[in-house]
Chains A and B, each alone.
Chain A
Amino acid sequence: MNGAAGAWPVDYQKAANADWPIAPSDPRQEDPEYRKVQEERLERVWATPKGWRYWSDVNNTTIGVWYTAASFGFMLFAGVLGLMIRAQLAVPDNDFLSATFYNQVYTLHGTVMMFLFAVPIFEAVAIILLPQMLGARDLPFPRLSAFGFWCFIIGGVFVAGSIFFDSAPTGGWFMYPPLTTQERFTPGYGPDVWLLGLSFIEVASIAAAVELIVGTLKCRPPGMRINLMPLYAWYVLVVATMILFAFPPLIAGDILFELERLFGWPFFDPERGGDPVLWQHLFWIFGHPEVYIVFLPAIALIAMIVPTFARRPILGYSWIVLAAVGTGFLSFGLWAHHMYTTGLPAMSLGFFSAASEAVAIPTGVQIFVFLATLLTGRVTYQVPMLFVLGSLGVFVFGGITGVMVAIAPFDWQAHDSYFVVAHLHYVLVGGMVFPLVAGVYYFWPVVGQKRLSDKLGRIAFWLMFVGFNLAFAPMHWSGLMGMPRRVWTYPAGLGLEWPNLISSGGGFVFAAGFLVVVFDVLRPKGHVPVAERNTWNAGTLEWLAETEDKNWGVRSIPIVTTRYPLWEQPRFMEDVDKGRFYLPDAEENLRETLVTSVLDAKPIQCLRVPGPSWMPFWAAVFLGAVFILAVFHLWMATIVAMGLALVAIIVWLWRGTSFVPEKKEKDVGRGLSLPLYMSGPQSVSWWAMFITMTGDATAFLSLVFGYYFFFTIHQDFPPPGMENAPGQLWPMLSLALFASAWGLAVAANRLNRAGRVPLARLAMGGGGVLSLLAAAALLWAPYATGLDPVVHVYPAIVWTLAIWTAVHAAVGTIMLFYCLARSLAGKLTPEYDIDICNVALYWHFMGGTALVTIGTISLFPLVA
């Protein structure tokens, strides 16, 4: 395995079964002087900015480290909140915290752990590791990563910081209305802080998801066919896709929620036709997949660690793919198992019960794949393995209680009791925190060049393992003894004293263990020797990382022909280091990486990726200001911030995307010449647009689901007196205008490509104008028919769909005008047409949105 077999130099043409020419490497690469010049150039191109400009960096290594550090910071903060909870509950009738403050504490504990730690840490780690594992220099959209990070940190500090002003949300991380929607139950800004702060972070998550999906599918090293992808990349692909479908329903829910809080639109108010249960559906359609969004990336770390310490390739690669993809799907059929007690019909509960049981199958498969790999390997035992085993012990128990609570009749007892608190912590700590710490010990040398301490690792493990079980095992008991969740105190005499006291003690032991990890990471390591390269003797590309950290990622982008190239490709590291593969140089002083095809990773483009910029930062600041100012109802300032955010984004796009290159093609090495510019389905930005719009469409469909949900719960929908609103005349006119705008957007793309530039420009301008007219007609319809969104949920949901569509039409107009401006400025030509290609794609989604909206609000009442 090590020092792999096979002849060298490798005939990569043959080894990769490549359908593109692979010449022998350039003999000049053997000359150290020649390489030195290249290396200096690469170093200069990929250098991290110095001084205050450091914060304008966008490189994945820098952003990833910021992101990880920030997530861990939030985790420690939420951990302290958790300890406050345990201090309060240590003894019965305690008054260490007041009820109100306790509610702030437990709400933020859950919110911060889930939204500011569990999900972002996946994105953070993936941003660091994924490009390394794929031998890419960077992710395809580095500035988008930076933008995501800044959104995350601004929103996160806003949400978490609210507790220092005694105005944190108190409604629980699930924010059930009407407790949280109505001022009389929850006065103050708490729910707005939660909703707007987190909506903003959700934007960041979706940005990261787009980045990671495109990164996995299009930026793999040449030759790394889909069957050779590291398992981590499979998991990233699945999880990022899940984010794309899971987060938008929550965004839709947030929109409805804020419309109710800010303007009194009664989506969740039963007095005016609303229903609080709709929020629960939207929240848990997000909330349950989210558990797997948290869990799978951590399991992905185990899937990388296990083969290294078993010293063999994973046994059952396809089974892991099955498990990851299968879990990704099944996890969307579980949401109502958080709603077993809401009185849904037993048959409906049964469907969710069934899916909840079924999802245990792929989960079990993954665990047995790891066990089988260990069993058939020759294991070396190191600290990361200790945490992997601890994870197994804790997670499997959480899985078993999960199978129990998936059975509805048992859950009617366990639901919202401490049994569920125990279950969810077993699953999340066992399935996520332990693997993550294993990952910290395992991957630290990639980032920090040194190994962490073995001794401290063992101490930390045992403190965490024992402390965790002491803290959470008794909660199963206290739950079944009748202790509900989210109580700030409990009475003596019910047998709850000892389990709670033990839980509290255990909580502090667990925290001490985690602090040992933090200390180990942060302590000065001057005397610790630099770890040798590939210190655990692993087989995958991230271990190409050099002992002296280099921002360029890999010295040259390798051709990969095996699943574990460092084990299985002869003298692989030397070939990479001597620049014998692709892009060993940056002749034009530009940052470059390779784009490859989805299934076979055939190189198709040399992608120029952007360098440091302040624009992502400013875009995030202004967008953050929009959300934060809206919390405090500062409407004028909000509108100004909105304008600034728009300007920032347009400046960013104008100056930083779809450059017309100085030449068509570039020699990337080994006799391969690749285009520098591609548009349409071949380009990464087309994929990014497609993926983003898929998420956008999911949010839209969640709103449409709201319309039909209200239809099913009402005998009369539309309610009496509103049967003829919004009518057919104006909606149909709007539909005709939308269809024309759609047609013009598509025509603009075709005409431009055919070289008929003036006509294309006319179509862009005309399409933009028609789109605005269409939006106006659509908004006029409910207005003219007198629909008042405050009086009943029917007009409220009609207005919401109309506004959603109109806002998208406005964006569609901006896009078309942007293309027109680009065309006039010579940045968009028949040959270099990414902008209009992507805008045409947007317009396909826009057309669909208009069709569904108008069909629903205007035509459905005719047949209902």
Chain B
Amino acid sequence: MHLLPSGKTRDNLWTLITPPTVWAWHFLLSYITAAYACAPNDAIFEAIPGPRLLVAVLTVVALAIIAWCGVRAWREWQSEYVAPPFNEASPAHRERFLEFSTLLLAGLSFVGVVFVAMPALFVVDCR
């Protein structure tokens, strides 16, 4: 991440995709946790509190990072507020566009992480 003298981020395509990337890691690690805990699928009625807790921890961490990305984008967008649709040919509009889009993606990723965490809440074992 590239910081400007003002302490703000210079957004780019990488900052844009950070929230969904966090979603992807959360998804992958949750899947690996469950797959590894349950392989090779015998003892299917044995509860697996450890892996479920791990998914919960992963979820909290992922939500925190996504929320931080979202809050950062929100603050920077608000502090030099431009209303959408950010359609002018200027660095300011480009920056606001990236911030706003990051905010939207953070929202979607947040919901996505919550969704993906739900199975660990509902299912207690490897059945």
A and B touch in the complex (CB under 8 A): yes
Q: Which residues of A contact B (CB under 8 A)?
A: 15-17, 223, 225-228, 313, 315-319, 321-322, 325-326, 328-330, 332-333, 343, 345-351, 353-355, 357-358, 361-362, 560-563, 598-600, 712-715
- Please provide the 7 A-B residue pairs with the shortest distance between their CB atoms, ordered closest to farther: A350-B119, A227-B97, A329-B20, A561-B89, A322-B104, A354-B115, A712-B39
In the complex, the answer to whether B35 meets A329 with C-beta atoms within 8 Å is: no
Give 10 new A-B contacts, CB below 8 A, not counting A228-B87, A325-B101, A351-B31: A223-B89, A318-B101, A329-B17, A347-B120, A351-B27, A354-B119, A355-B27, A358-B111, A361-B108, A562-B89
Whether A317 contacts B89 in the complex (CB less than 8 A), given A322-B101, A348-B35, A351-B30, comes out as no
Please report the C-alpha to C-alpha distance between residue A149 and residue B126 in the assembled complex, in whole angstroms.
Answer: 47
Nearest chain B residue, comparing its CB with the CB of A711: B39
In the complex, the answer to whether A348 meets B38 with C-beta atoms within 8 Å is: yes
In the complex, the answer to whether B41 meets A343 with C-beta atoms within 8 Å is: yes
In the complex, the answer to whether B97 meets A355 with C-beta atoms within 8 Å is: no
In the complex, what residues of B have CB within 8 A of residue A313's CB?
85, 87
Contact with A along B13-49 (1 / 0, CB 8 A): 1001100110110010011001110111100100000
In the complex, what residues of B have CB within 8 A of residue A321's CB?
101, 104
In the complex, the answer to whether A348 meets B31 with C-beta atoms within 8 Å is: yes
In the complex, what residues of A have CB within 8 A of residue B35's CB?
345, 348, 712
In the complex, the answer to whether A326 meets B20 with C-beta atoms within 8 Å is: yes
In the complex, what residues of B have CB within 8 A of residue A345's CB?
34-35, 38, 41, 44, 123, 126-127
In the complex, what residues of B have CB within 8 A of residue A358's CB?
108, 111-112, 115-116
Please report the C-alpha to C-alpha distance between residue A561 and residue B118 in the assembled complex, in whole angstroms.
Answer: 45
In the complex, the answer to whether B86 meets A318 with C-beta atoms within 8 Å is: yes
Please report the C-alpha to C-alpha distance between residue A598 and residue B119 in the assembled complex, in whole angstroms.
Answer: 40
Nearest chain B residue, comparing its CB with the CB of A568: B87
In the complex, what residues of A have CB within 8 A of residue B17's CB?
325, 329
Please report the C-alpha to C-alpha distance between residue A86 and residue B26 in the assembled complex, in whole angstroms.
Answer: 44
Partner of A317, one of B87, B88, B90, B112: B87
In the complex, what residues of B have CB within 8 A of residue A362's CB?
108
What is the minimal beta-carbon distance from A521 to any residue of chain B, in angstroms? 35
In the complex, the answer to whether B40 meets A355 with C-beta atoms within 8 Å is: no
In the complex, what residues of A have CB within 8 A of residue B117's CB?
354
In the complex, what residues of B have CB within 8 A of residue A329's CB?
17, 20-21, 23-24, 109
Whether A226 contacts B98 in the complex (CB less than 8 A), given A329-B20, A354-B116, comes out as yes
Most buried by A among B13, B100, B112: B112
In the complex, what residues of A have CB within 8 A of residue B72's CB?
none
Partner of B40, one of A332, A349, A351, A713: A713
In the complex, the answer to whether B16 meets A325 with C-beta atoms within 8 Å is: yes
What is the minimal beta-carbon distance from B86 to any residue of chain A, in angstroms? 5
CB pairs A–B below 8 angstroms (19 shown): A17-B89, A17-B91, A225-B93, A227-B97, A328-B20, A329-B24, A345-B44, A346-B119, A347-B123, A350-B123, A353-B119, A355-B115, A355-B116, A358-B111, A358-B112, A598-B13, A600-B94, A712-B40, A713-B40
Nearest chain A residue, comparing its CB with the CB of B126: A345
Contacts of B33-80 to chain A: CB distance below 8 A: 34-36, 38-41, 44
In the complex, the answer to whether A713 meets B12 with C-beta atoms within 8 Å is: no
